Amino acid sequence: MKGTVRKYIHKDGTVTWGYLVYMGVDENDKKKYKRKRGFKKQKECEAALAKFITEIEKGTAVNNDKMTVKDYLEYWLETYPKNNCQPATYKRYEFFCRDIVCGLGNYKLTKLNPLLIQKFYEDLKNGTIKEQLKKQKLSELQAIYDKALKNSKEAKTLKDKLNKLKEQPIQGVSNNTIIKTHRMFHLALKHAQKWQLIFVNPCDLATPPTSDPIEMKYWEPDDISMYLDILKDDFLYPIIYLAAHTGLREGELCALKWEDFDIIEKTLTVNKTLQRINSVLKPKITKTKKSTRIVTLFDSTAKFLKTLKNKDKALKLETGLELEYIFHWEDGRPIDPNYVSKKFPFILSGHKIPQIRFHDLRHTHATLLRKLKVDAKVISERLGHADVAFTLKTYTHVNTEMQREEVAKAEDFL
């Protein structure tokens, strides 16, 4: 492959140099060229040309001067996450990309560097990005409102949205969210590197903040029965009960069907999770192989589910409804996991029960098992964790307490 070096004489008399390299033809058989100008010396231009030709021959050249970070992320979202990730993960990536595009979207992909990314993380932390996004949203809503008919229902709705958005306080992003954004951005740029759109991944040299310590909350084993008894008249009591008795995740619980309950073996088959995809609730296969599992039930739990099933049989005879899901509304529709997790804190407040998240019922169950000295491997398999090490790390507080109890026994011999 060859290129040509050209001399450029400008109106003010200054001289610069540039090179031109033939890059073949595009999909329309149109010739493509790589041009670069602005070199002050001929030798500098010739050296740059030689380097570029070497990169082409090695297959490492990047002919991507016009693609912005925004262009690339839009392309990446539709090619990798959409085809390889769960819908919930894709939605989360969309959210992260929105922030990145706000802060870095106009930069050329090839000009992205660690300093820019580091500054972006700082802007996420101090609320600058969220402030910019709020201004954009206000501008968009205002434009739609200005076009709406005065005194119309649409105009009133838009006005309410505008006022509500204006009143919303601007908050910075947590360290944990920035870390998740960094991981996704690193993955996206890793693909850009693999596809030869960039030479190096600038995220490799950017440093996200350290994670915020998360205080694990759970009900003490001695309090579980008492709290469940207080909640027994609530509509969500059955799902709260089963969460505390099995440690299943919200999505897994809401996806359970009666066909998953083996009344003879006293087990539940966990092989799907319920997710909202484009405003529609749909069951999806579990995230990992370890998440697909058979969970054994306590005798009391199996008896509880048997009672629920008999109620559903009676309701089916009365209404003719096909009641597939274990947890459902009166018309048979499954309950949204998001509704469960959002409603749970209000239920606890109403009964003056100490606040925990619905997901913390999973921690409550695991903590109970660890305090009963159930083997960590059994707990790991029951919860659908990737490995035992993750289980032990997550429930360090119990491991430390157990160690203290065991070591105390040795004191009698010393």
Helix, strand or coil, per DSSP, at residue 121? helix
Per the listing, tokens 């740059």 go with 48
Per residue in 79-126, pLDDT (tens digit) is 899 888 888 888 899 999 999 999 999 999 988 999 999 999 999 999
Backbone angles phi, psi at 141, to 5 degrees: -65, -40
Q: Which residues of 150-189 are buried (b: 16+ CB within 10 A; e: fewer)?
A: eeeeebeebeeebeeeeeeeeebbebebbebbbebbbbbb
167 or 207: which leads in pLDDT: 207
pTM (predicted TM-score) = 0.67
Reported confidence tier of residue 410, pLDDT bands at 50, 70, 90: low
> In the predicted model, what is the mean pLDDT of the chain?
87
Q: Is the pLDDT of residue 405 over 80?
A: no
Reported confidence tier of residue 59, pLDDT bands at 50, 70, 90: low
Alpha carbons within 13 angstroms on the beta-carbon side of residue 103 total: 24
Distances (CA, A) of 29 to 23, 57, 62, 178, 259: 12, 21, 20, 44, 59
The pLDDT value given to residue 412: 62
The pLDDT value given to residue 201: 94
Task: Supply the DSSP string of 373-394, one letter for each residue.
Answer: T--HHHHHHHHT-S-HHHHHHH
The pLDDT value given to residue 238: 97
In the chain, what is the greatest distance between 2 CA atoms, to the nearest angstrom? Answer: 96
Q: Is the pLDDT of residue 314 over 90?
A: yes
The pLDDT value given to residue 337: 94
The pLDDT value given to residue 348: 95
What is the token pair recorded at 249? 């995740």
The pLDDT value given to residue 57: 65
Q: Are 1 and 49 in contact (CB under 8 A)?
A: no
The pLDDT value given to residue 155: 79
Helix, strand or coil, per DSSP, at residue 275? strand
